[in-house]
Amino acid sequence: MTPERFEQLAEAYGSDLRRWPKTEQAKAEQLRQERPVWARQCLDQAADLDDLLGLYRVEAPSMALRERVVAMAPRPQRSLLSKLLGEWRGWGMGLAAAGLAGLMVGIGSVSLMMADQSTDVTVASALDGQSVYSEAVAFGAEETL
Amino acid sequence: MSNRPPDPDADLVIRVGRGDPAAVQALMARKLPRMLSLARRMLGDASEAEDVAQEVMVRAWRQAPTWQPGAARFDSWMHRVALNLCYDRLRRQRERPMAEPPDQIDPGPAPDAGLMGMEIKDQVEAAIAALPERQREAIVLCHYQELGNIEAAALMEISVEALESLLSRGRRALRLLLNPLNNRRLEGLA
């Protein structure tokens, strides 16, 4: 490796040779050992900037962010048995709901029928009363006449 | 047979795909801070960075059940998603119409002059934000995310030589912006 290339790499990747291209690290290390004073000066300049860049730290993710992210994560996959049980539970709920709905319809129908019957009786009574009244009026009229 | 080293996240991603809660926690602990840091330094805004990091993780959850190890490293894929989201936001910021276009050049101090009154870490943050986007991306990927040059160049869809050029120019610009600061810091240490 040439000294120029060493400088280029320090300029681009900074003072830590572990950040340099893997294919050039061994040759760079060899040059550093051959010319330690020069290499130290070269790397120190890059290290100053590295130290400053290290001051820019980002806060850890907030609890709220972590909770939002976890809430959207995949759920555990269910086994075939639990899936079937789940489906049976679904069907059971459906059947129960259907049964309940049928019961409600049945009760409603009976109530309506009973209501109809009592209405019929009332109407019939009313009609009967009306006819009695009519007959009475007619009778009275006949008497009056 | 591929010479590529195995993906260190592969097993975890497969378990996440099966809905393993421990794997979900482990992958989040490993990747969420990393994605948040990337977005924070690319966008310079904590709130937008949270949105991006969350979106990357949600996409990772969706990707996990169908993830095929061997195609690309999961971490690289996440970086690609995060960078795309960051660039979408940076583009929208640029396209956002200004309330009042400036009639004349701002007579105020130059951006670097404003750095002097800030805390050191804020000055570094402002200097990175002032870099051209591609130089900033190169420095964020190589220095902060610690990606190798080949991986970073592939993510940026440029050659390794072009990446090195961006890194060198970026670091030179930062040195110029932060030089007085560095001198003061060294004086303080002496």
CATH number of the structural domain spanning residue B183: 1.10.10.10
Same domain, B172 and B140: yes
CB atoms within 10 A of CB B108: 8
**Cα distances (angstroms) measured from residue A129 to each of A118, A134, A137, B2, B61:** 16, 8, 12, 104, 80
Same domain, B72 and B8: yes
Residue B105 lies inside a defined structural domain of this protein: no
Task: Read off the CATH number of the domain in which B67 is found.
Answer: 1.10.1740.10
**Domain final residue pick, B48, B73, B97:** B97
pLDDT above 60 for B6: yes
Helix B74-95 with B21-43: angle, nearest 10 deg: 40
Does B4 share its domain with B92?
A: yes
Q: What are the chain A neighbours of B55 within 8 Å (beta carbons)?
A: none
Tell me if B104 is assigned to some domain. no
**Are B36 and B92 found together in one domain?**
yes
A145 touches chain B (CB under 8 A): no
Among A117-121, B16-20, B59-63, B167-171, the range scoring the smallest mean pLDDT is: A117-121
Yes or no, beta carbons of A65 and B54 under 8 Å apart: yes
B136 and B55 assigned to the same domain:
no
Least confident of A35-49, A118-132, B32-46: A118-132
Q: Region A113-123: what's the mean pLDDT? A: 55
**Cα distance between residue B152 and residue B158, in whole Å:** 9
Query: What is the domain range of residue B170?
Result: 110-190
Number of domains making up chain B: 2
* A4 Cα to chain B: minimum distance (Å): 14
What is the structure's pLDDT at B46?
96
Distance from A2 to chain B by nearest Cα, in Å? 17
Across chain B, which distance is largest between two alpha carbons, in Å? 63
The answer to whether residues B86 and B136 belong to one domain is no
Asked if B88 and B38 sit in the same domain, the reply is yes
Asked whether residue B51 falls in the same domain as residue B119, the answer is no
Q: How confident is the model at residue A102 (pLDDT cuts 50, 70, 90)?
A: confident
Q: Are the CB atoms for B131 and B90 separated by under 8 Å?
A: no
Same domain assignment for residues B7 and B90: yes
Residue B102 lies in a domain: no
Among the partner-chain residues B24, B41, B175, the one whose CB lies closest to the CB of A58 is: B41
Clarify whether residues B186 and B117 are in a common domain. yes
pLDDT tens-digit readout, A61-101: 999 999 999 999 988 876 666 666 666 666 666 667 777 77
Residue A81 forms contact with B (CB below 8 Å) = no
Write down which residue in B75, B97, B119 finishes a domain: B97
B90 and B146 part of one domain: no
* pLDDT score, position A142: 44
The mean-pLDDT minimum among A101-105, B29-33, B139-143, B181-185 falls in B181-185
Q: What average pLDDT score do residues B136-149 get?
A: 97
- Write the pLDDT tens digit of every residue in B100-114: 555 555 555 555 555
Q: How far is A38 from chain B (nearest CA, A)?
A: 20
The C-alpha atoms of residue B46 and residue B41 are separated, in whole angstroms, by 9
- Asked if residue A139 has pLDDT above 70, the reply is no
* Mean pLDDT value of segment B94-102: 66
Per-residue pLDDT at A52 exceeds 90:
yes
What's the whole-number average pLDDT of chain A?
77
Average pLDDT over residues B45-54: 97
Are residues B127 and B72 both part of a single domain? no
